[in-house]
Chains A and B, each alone.
Chain A
Amino acid sequence: MPRFALMRLDKLRLSPRLGNCTQFHVTAYEVERDVATPRAAAARTVLGTATDPPQPRALKTLMHFEGCNPEVSAGHTPAVRVHNARPHRSAGLASRSWPCWPSQRFGTILLRGASHTELVALKQALQFLLYAGYAMFLEAALARDEFAMPAATPPPGTARPDRQLPALVAASEKDPTAAHEQVRGRAWATRTASPSSLCPASPCPLLGTMQPAWTDDLVDRLPPAYRRRLQQYQRALLSTSPSVVHPLPVLVQRQLVRMAAHALSTTPTPPAAASHGGGDVATADGPADRDPLHAELTTARAPPGPAAAAAAGPASLQEKPAEAAEAEPPASATSGVALIPAASHPLAGAAGAQTGSSTDTAAVATAAPADTSAGAPERSPPLPAVTLSAPAAGGTALGAGPADERPASSSHRHAASRLRATNDMPAPAAGPAALMAAMAGRIGDEHDDSSGILSWGDESMDLTESDTDHTPEDTTSTVSGSLRASISDGRSSSVSKPARHVRSLSGAKRTASESAGASAAAPPVAGDVAAHRPLRPVSLWTVDITPPAYQRLSILFAVFCPGLSTPCKFPHSLSIQFYSESDMTLGQYIEELVRSARTPCGSCSRYDVAPMLGICGRHLPLRFG
């Protein structure tokens, strides 16, 4: 009996499951031995046959296990492979019209017909294609399972005009390449803006589009070394998904900016070039000479509307120069006023910049355009690449440090969302105070906005006299945006920094040249000014590396009302920006939830108990597989 029991136990022991396949065979392939392969060369060297002619051909023995997916190849599903025969979730209805990824366990691709070197490249490409293709398949499957509809996609440029590349338009008339640049800019925007992440029709604040921090235009102006480095990332495909967009790594951006700023500072400054239309003063004083690149950037930036430093002499405080008169906006900003509003209030600045400041009547309002325009003043002949045919005559900001270069630029450069995020605190606080100070002739406004974008420093300002033949300059906001912002020469502002006092001299108009160059200008003595001072990078934080610029999350969003078979709001992909206005504290969220608990659903007009963000229904979490 004991023996019998032992035998039974022995029988009960699980025997390992043996693998099986349809066909096993060992085949020798005749392969070309690549002479250039280091491995082969090393082998020959080791063997002491380096001098011998390499054997052109060799045999490579491969072991094949074929037919490992019998249910695919033979069309039947073995009962054993339960775990492999997982039916697709929506297998009944929807999957017919959609491609289904074959449920294979393994596959091998044999590449032949080329040299080893070529096959290596081919293998890499093939692997990536596999990866990308399967990822897209998964994404499509997810969207299909959720009955997601592709969102109506406007051309990427239209979704957020302010975030796109308005700048490129400017140069178009004069420069033949402008159109091309614009096209390229569009292409970039198309590439970066995900088609499915946009849902412009919806007022949902979650939506946002991608703004490339670096455009082709900017890249073209970078020194070759940096250009190569940047292009390395531009060539890299960081996401194969149409709805997931990765901007450049923040550190790369920062590094690039640092390098670029350094390059600018070390570049020999050309003799101060008188701006074409520029007043004599400008030339005389030696317009703040910037290196060409920088100057170009600054000029490019100036918004069309504002007559750049319109105020002609000190006396001309209130008077408009003729040129200025031509320009719609009353460029003659009163001294004090000019700085504050734009600086303090990004939105105002943005508005002014976009409207060309024509609409601004209030002194405060005008300030914004004036500030931005002020960037124009110091300008040297643009680089060839720059398309400014008629460089806005730089009224030279003599010593003028545009104290508030940043805000204005940020205002029209950056997306509204970011502005919203950043401006809250600074605007109210700084605005009035700054105004008062300005009136007093001195502004000491210290200002850090939360994101560190806005920086004020003390700076005494001299009067700038600028005579401008004002050309509508492009606001190449995005182009020069980050770069220029980053380069402020002065010792002035690092982010968190020292308030800069702007004392407006009599009749001095403070030109807020957002151009960095002007920004940090030393307490200007008119004339001697910053003329030959090299640019130095001031603040890296002025670059657009704030979280909203690079953090985003794509979700699939749908609204289902209980009791209804069809979703009230069909799933579509949303892109959520972090740290934007959509953020709320938990308390706020709960409060909102409770308050809007009886809000009727927008589409089915039923009441739901769990609205979120004003939209009725429950949010579908992401479901994979």
Chain B
Amino acid sequence: MCAGDSIDLRRFVRIKKLPGGSRADCKYVEGVVITKNLQHKDMRMQIAHPKILLLGFPVEFQQPQQSSLSIDAVRGHQRRCRGGSATMPRPRLSGGSLARHRSAPQVLANEAEQMAGLVRRVASLEPDLVLAAKSVSRTAQDALRKAGLALALNFKPAVLHDIARATEGQIVANVGTAGSRGRTVAAL
């Protein structure tokens, strides 16, 4: 218990029910136990003195705000992938905006680049374990696995806060912003 904590202790004590077994198996764990599995079998199941990174944001490719992906470009990409068998009529596009549209390969390349940068950034913190509150794109997952980091996804916010409290970590709220906001929220 710390100063400023809630007076209700029940927030800080989890009780997990595991039917079966024997009563002697009941135990108290100084820490958090949650029902969750790692994202990949290759990831390490046991880590002594792990460093835990808590990601509160979805690790997805984010389009730059200014440019939007053209339907035309996507369809063109799809057509090319399918060998030009597109039958749908080509939509009309206002010619003025075409200049800012990017082609699909360009988008994918951007995503790969962005994810790689993000993973690099994450890896630079040298965590052993990455817990993400939201989803993580496949590219990033693979990159993290190759970097030797264990990953678990889709934590409920409450659970993530519990872990943050228990491990005294900070939940990283967003990617780009510098500086930390508050005690448990930080930027990557």
Residues of A in contact with B (beta carbons under 8 Å apart): 13-26, 29-34, 57, 60-69, 72-73, 80-81, 83-84, 86, 101, 103-116, 119-120, 122-123, 126-127, 130-131, 133-135, 138, 625
Contacts and interface: CB of A to CB of B under 8 A. Distances in A.
A110 B52 contact: no
A123 B54 CA distance: 29
A484 B23 CA distance: 52
B20 A108 contact: no
B99 interface: no
Given A19-B54, A60-B18, A73-B30, A106 B165 contact: yes
13 contacts: A15-B125, A16-B171, A19-B168, A20-B167, A20-B168, A23-B49, A31-B18, A33-B19, A63-B34, A65-B166, A107-B31, A110-B25, A127-B10
B125 A18 contact: yes
Q: Interface residue tally of chain B, by bracket?
A: 35 or more
Nearest to B1: A103
B35 interface: yes
Interface in B28-42: 28-38
Is chain B's interface secondary structure helix, strand, loop, or mixed overall? mixed
B14 A24 contact: no
Given A30-B20, A61-B37, A113-B24, A18 B127 contact: yes
Contacts of A30: 20-21
B144 to A, nearest CB: 15
Nearest to B178: A13
B17 A120 contact: yes
Contacts of B8: 131
B116 to A, nearest CB: 18
The list of the 5 closest CB pairs from A to B, nearest first, reads A19-B169, A19-B167, A113-B23, A16-B186, A32-B20
A111 B17 contact: yes
B18 A106 contact: no
Given A68-B31, A106-B165, 9 more contacts: A13-B179, A15-B186, A24-B128, A61-B35, A73-B30, A84-B2, A105-B168, A111-B26, A119-B17
Contacts of B109: none
A68 B167 contact: yes
B49 A130 contact: no
Contacts of B108: none
A113 B165 CA distance: 29
A107 B35 contact: no
A63 B169 CA distance: 17
B141 interface: no
B14 A113 contact: no
B125 A23 contact: no
B47 interface: yes
A67 B37 contact: no
Contacts of A69: 30-31
Contact of B26 (A23, A26, A110): A110
A116 B129 contact: no
A453 B118 CA distance: 74
Interface string B81-118: 00000000000000000000000000000000000000
A14 B179 contact: yes
A111 B17 CA distance: 5
A17 B186 contact: yes
A107 B52 contact: no
Given A14-B179, A123-B17, A109 B49 contact: no
Contacts of A17: 168-170, 186
Contacts of B26: 109-113
A482 B35 CA distance: 53
Given A14-B179, A29-B21, A109-B15, A24 B50 contact: yes
